[in-house]
């Protein structure tokens, strides 16, 4: 918990939803993605024609659908966190299980999109744009997989554990991590799919 000193003071930790150590991880991860965004922006500025010719090969409907799916899953987690605070076990389980089910749609959609890109001949080695596209969405997907595992554990815990302060911190922490997965996609969506030059 003390690891987050420098971002949150001891008195501020009480105001944090979830565990401050998880927040340290979340913020460090967001900073790592900010470096990815910098790399992409510099690459795009140096070679806008290549980036645009590559971008138009992506199907932005996948990007939008994935955005809506993650937003819905994130909202269901937010509802589950509120239910934990209200001590309503049925709503907690419903919210987390719903978030897990909707989240699975993102996994199917993302893999389908990758398969269609590879079938079109676009891989990690095609060019700089597609290297970044597969690397960034792949790293994001790893975060998504971890989040899904945490959500699955949370559903099991919500069914059996006491809805006490310890459990509240667990669900708030899991929720904030899941919202980070959503938040990073919110930036990746316009950056990769919508940045047209003409």
Partner 1 sequence: VSAAAAQSERNATRAFAALVALSAASFVLVDTAATARLAVSVALAIAALKVRLVVVHFMDLTWRARGLRLAIELWIASVTALLLGGVWLAAR
Yes or no: say if 117 and 193 are a contact pair by the CB < 8 Å rule.
no
Measured CA to CA, the distance from residue 106 to residue 183 in angstroms comes to 14
Establish if 64 lies at the interface with partner 1 (CB under 8 A).
Answer: yes
DSSP 167: H
Measured CA to CA, the distance from residue 152 to residue 101 in angstroms comes to 10
Establish if 107 lies at the interface with partner 1 (CB under 8 A).
Answer: no
Establish if 45 lies at the interface with partner 1 (CB under 8 A).
Answer: yes
Yes or no: say if 109 and 62 are a contact pair by the CB < 8 Å rule.
yes
Establish if 79 lies at the interface with partner 1 (CB under 8 A).
Answer: yes
Task: Indicate which single residue of 158, 171, 191, 192 sits in contact with partner 1 (rule: CB under 8 A).
Answer: 191
* Part in contact with partner 1 (CB under 8 A); list of ranges 133-141, 145-153, 158-166, 170-178: 170-178
121 or 171, CB closer to partner 1?
171
Residue 99's closest CA among 54, 49, 56, 152?
152
15 or 142, CB closer to partner 1?
15
CA distances from 189 to 85, 88, 185, 186 (A): 32, 35, 6, 6
**CB 102: neighbour CB atoms within 10 A?**
19
Establish if 182 lies at the interface with partner 1 (CB under 8 A).
Answer: yes
Establish if 9 lies at the interface with partner 1 (CB under 8 A).
Answer: yes
Number of residues interacting with partner 1: please give it, by CB under 8 A. Answer: 54
Yes or no: say if 87 and 164 are a contact pair by the CB < 8 Å rule.
no
Which spans of this chain sit near partner 1 (rule: CB under 8 A)? 4, 6-9, 12-13, 15-17, 23, 27, 30-31, 34, 37-38, 41-42, 44-45, 48, 60, 63-64, 67-68, 71-72, 74-75, 77-79, 81-82, 85-86, 172, 175-176, 179, 182-183, 186-187, 189-191, 194-198
């Amino acid at each position: 918990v003390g690891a987050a000193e420098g971002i949150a003071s001891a008195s501020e930790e009480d105001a944090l939803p979830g565990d401050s150590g998880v927040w340290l991880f979340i913020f460090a991860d967001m900073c790592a993605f900010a470096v990815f965004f910098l790399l992409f922006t510099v690459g795009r500025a140096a070679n806008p024609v290549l980036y645009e010719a590559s971008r138009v090969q992506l199907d932005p409907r996948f990007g939008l659908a994935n955005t809506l799916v993650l937003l819905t899953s994130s909202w269901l987690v937010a509802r589950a966190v509120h239910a934990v605070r209200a001590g309503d076990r049925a709503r907690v389980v419903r919210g987390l299980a719903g978030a897990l089910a909707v989240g699975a749609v993102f996994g199917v959609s993302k893999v389908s999109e990758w398969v269609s890109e590879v079938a079109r001949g676009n891989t990690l080695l095609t060019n700089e744009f597609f290297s970044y596209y597969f690397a960034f969405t792949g790293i994001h997907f790893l975060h998504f997989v971890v989040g899904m595992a945490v959500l699955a554990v949370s559903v099991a815990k919500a069914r059996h554990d006491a809805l006490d302060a310890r459990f509240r911190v667990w669900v708030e922490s899991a929720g904030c991590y899941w919202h980070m997965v959503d938040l990073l996609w919110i930036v990746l969506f316009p950056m990769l799919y919508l940045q047209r030059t003409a």
